[in-house]
Structure 1
Amino acid sequence: MSDHVLLQMWGPFRESLIKGHLFYIEQAQKRLLSQFDDIEAEADRAAEEWLEKSGPRFDPDRHDPGDFYEAANDAGIEFYGLLSEMREQTRLSVVAGMFHEWDKQLRNWLVREIQHWHRGENVSLQVWSVNFGQITDLLGNLGWDVRSEEYFRALDACRLVVNVHKHGDGKSLDDLKNSYPEYLDDPLAGFGEGLSDLKYRDHTHLKVSDEQFQVFSNAILSFWRDVPENVFESQVTDIPQWFDNAMKKDRANSQQTNKK
């Protein structure tokens, strides 16, 4: 008795997904993130420019030179702070773009593969609308336990980071605090446990380092490389209720259409 293939990852398609991801990371580093490589020097130039612009206002009979240099230093510090914040937001935006592209590619692949053995818009709509956990559970039901893979934690953390970046405070922030607090910067570290308590941190403390960004990227690469070449019908352990309901609705719609 033949064992039907439910999902198939074609080798060249897998390679195209990997190449596309690597291209995104490379170009994001080259065209966006590299612009913040030397913000200390840029802050120094901002201080110098402040002095140049303010020079004509300096009156040695009325002004203390030290005050002007202090004001220039403050201008440099302010510029550095604003540029640092822009760097963090840019990196978070790159992370969000990376995760959303992976998520869309995964769902699109699932829909196309399912359409080989099931026709109906309800299943397709559900695959596109259910949450990340339900998608990973579906893969597990089909025989590939993604949750047991080492890189799953990084994918899950990336999902929460992206949600907090987009929505601010809420359930994703609470989940991030509970499971991956390392992505919430602690500006009061070293000032005592009472001041640096996690409960005082919110979405404004969200931060992803270059190293953490690379971990996210590597997790997506590991995922694509790890997708089974074939997932067979015999591997199915169970079908999620949302998927089963959508299939039944599609079949009912098909029967009604055939009766007409």
Structure 2
Amino acid sequence: MWFDTCGEGERRGFDAGRAKEMVDGHGDPRQLQRPAGGSVIISMSAFAKYTVVLDSQIVRGVHNCVLYRDGQSLMSDEDLPRYSDPVVCFGSWNMSRFGSPIQHYADILKSRVMPIFDDLDGEQKRAADEVLNASYWGPDDYGTAIEAAYEHSREHTLQFTELRTVFLATGVAGLFHLFEKQLYRFLNHELRQNLVKKIDRWEDAAAAIEALDRPRCADSGQTALQLAFNAPAIKELRLVANVVKHGEGRSYDDLKAMGARVVDPERFKDNFTIGPHSVLGVTLAIDSDDIERYVKALLFFWSLKVSVIRRPRTEG
């Protein structure tokens, strides 16, 4: 597992407090051993007993760092970090720090907020009774009262159903913004020694992840981080949040281009709660299955156990 980069003449590479979070109680990474040959060996039991071997001269600013498992290097020389390489580390602690709040948010949305709108028949009856029980009806107003109660309950139910659509859409937009906030916090912390300015825009975060280009998966040519970040469900979630905020436009066109389920015409049939004249204002049909897909992709992202680096290009 890589730590922050080492600067000349000082040791910034090993954060003992942070490393201690990674182990599962079977060893303290601060207890460094110096075997023959002068290397420093740290066993990380939480990572299948990987061993990080740092050249003993790293304290004096020499920069070699190699990751081994069972005596074999896990990375090629091309993928090995140098002292100046930006490094981002993922581990099990991220699920507790970032994954748990996402799951908790989704649980509140699904089990506490949305059930408010489940009893449609009951809501319609309550609205009708409100009119029928009004004190201004006389003995001869039965027919008029029934008609008025029907119209009122109908309008109330339509508004109630539209409100459910708005709550669901804004709840999903909030889920994205929670992840967005977490991502900025995480990248700014991990790359704090390398950033010229803080990351506070999605485009900046995407550019940073794209720049962290080692080690790459052999079958895709991307890093595990890039694959998780570019997952279709996360892209769809971001576009949905943009459409909820800004209405139909480029993000909506992108949703249609990628064949997103939330813009599937089959979902629009007989759905009066969406469209340009609805309270939501856009033709966007979100359901609970979509929330499950989004949460699954976000939790997969935070469950990564990988370290990625940026390898500056050499002039050739």
Structure 2 length-normalised TM: 0.59
**Structure 2 residue 104 is the aligned partner of structure 1 residue 23:** yes
What pairs up with 1:138-217 in 2 under 5 angstroms?
138-139=211-212, 143=216, 144-145=223-224, 148=227, 152-184=231-263, 186=265, 189=269, 203-217=281-295
Which amino acid letter does the alignment assign opposite residue 171 of structure 1? R
Q: Distance in 2 between matches of 1:136 and 1:13?
A: 17
Instruction: Classify 1:176/1:135 alpha carbon distance in 2 versus 1 (closer, same or farther; 3 Å).
Output: farther
How far 1:70 moved relative to its partner?
Answer: 2.7
What pairs up with 1:233-252 in 2 under 5 angstroms?
233=310, 236=311
How far 1:158 moved relative to its partner?
Answer: 0.7
Instruction: Classify 1:148/1:232 alpha carbon distance in 2 versus 1 (closer, same or farther; 3 Å).
Output: closer
How far 1:31 moved relative to its partner?
Answer: 3.5
CA offsets, 1:80-105, max 9 Å, x none?
11111111111112111111111111
SS at match of 2:282: helix
Which amino acid letter does the alignment assign opposite residue 299 of structure 2? L
Does the aligned pair in 2 maintain the 1:33–1:87 contact within 8 Å? yes
How far 1:209 moved relative to its partner?
Answer: 0.6
Structure 1 length-normalised TM: 0.71
How far 1:210 moved relative to its partner?
Answer: 1.2
Which amino acid letter does the alignment assign opposite residue 181 of structure 2? K
Instruction: Classify 1:232/1:140 alpha carbon distance in 2 versus 1 (closer, same or farther; 3 Å).
Output: closer
How far 1:27 moved relative to its partner?
Answer: 2.4
How far 1:238 moved relative to its partner?
Answer: 6.3
Does the aligned pair in 2 maintain the 1:152–1:219 contact within 8 Å? yes
**Structure 2 residue 293 is the aligned partner of structure 1 residue 220:** no
CA offsets, 1:156-178, max 9 Å, x none?
11111100000112211221222
Q: Distance in 2 between matches of 1:219 and 1:180?
A: 17
How far 1:155 moved relative to its partner?
Answer: 0.7
CA offsets, 1:203-250, max 9 Å, x none?
52222111111211111111111x3432245xx4869xxxxxxxxxxx
Q: State the percentage of identical aligned residues.
A: 23
How far 1:185 moved relative to its partner?
Answer: 6.8
How far 1:140 moved relative to its partner?
Answer: 5.3
Q: Distance in 2 between matches of 1:76 and 1:15?
A: 46
Instruction: Classify 1:160/1:141 alpha carbon distance in 2 versus 1 (closer, same or farther; 3 Å).
Output: farther
Equivalent residue, structure 2, for 1:45:
126
- From 128, 138, 146, the equivalent of 2:200 is 128
Does the aligned pair in 1 maintain the 2:236–2:260 contact within 8 Å? no
Q: Distance in 1 between matches of 2:148 and 2:264?
A: 29
Which amino acid letter does the alignment assign opposite residue 189 of structure 1? K
Instruction: Classify 1:129/1:224 alpha carbon distance in 2 versus 1 (closer, same or farther; 3 Å).
Output: same
Q: Distance in 2 between matches of 1:203 and 1:82?
A: 14
SS at match of 2:200: helix
More strand by share: 2
CA offsets, 1:170-200, max 9 Å, x none?
211221222235313758638xxxxxxx9xx
Which has the higher relative contact order, 1 or 2, with Cα contacts under 8 A spaced 6 or more apart?
A: 1
Does the aligned pair in 1 maintain the 2:236–2:255 contact within 8 Å? yes
SS at match of 1:205: coil
Q: Distance in 1 between matches of 2:187 and 2:240?
A: 24
Q: Distance in 2 between matches of 1:139 and 1:79?
A: 53
Q: Distance in 1 between matches of 2:144 and 2:313?
A: 73
Larger radius of gyration: 2
Q: Distance in 2 between matches of 1:72 and 1:139?
A: 63
The RMSD of aligned alpha carbons is 3.3
The number of residue pairs the alignment matches comes to: 219
Q: Distance in 2 between matches of 1:142 and 1:237?
A: 13
SS at match of 1:87: helix
Q: Distance in 1 between matches of 2:225 and 2:259?
A: 19
CA offsets, 1:19-77, max 9 Å, x none?
22122222233432221121321111111111111x632452xx4x3443232122112
- From 146, 159, 173, the equivalent of 1:69 is 146
Q: Flag structure 1 segments of 5+ consecutive residues without an equivalent.
A: 191-197, 240-260
Deviating runs (4+, > 6 A) in structure 1?
Answer: none
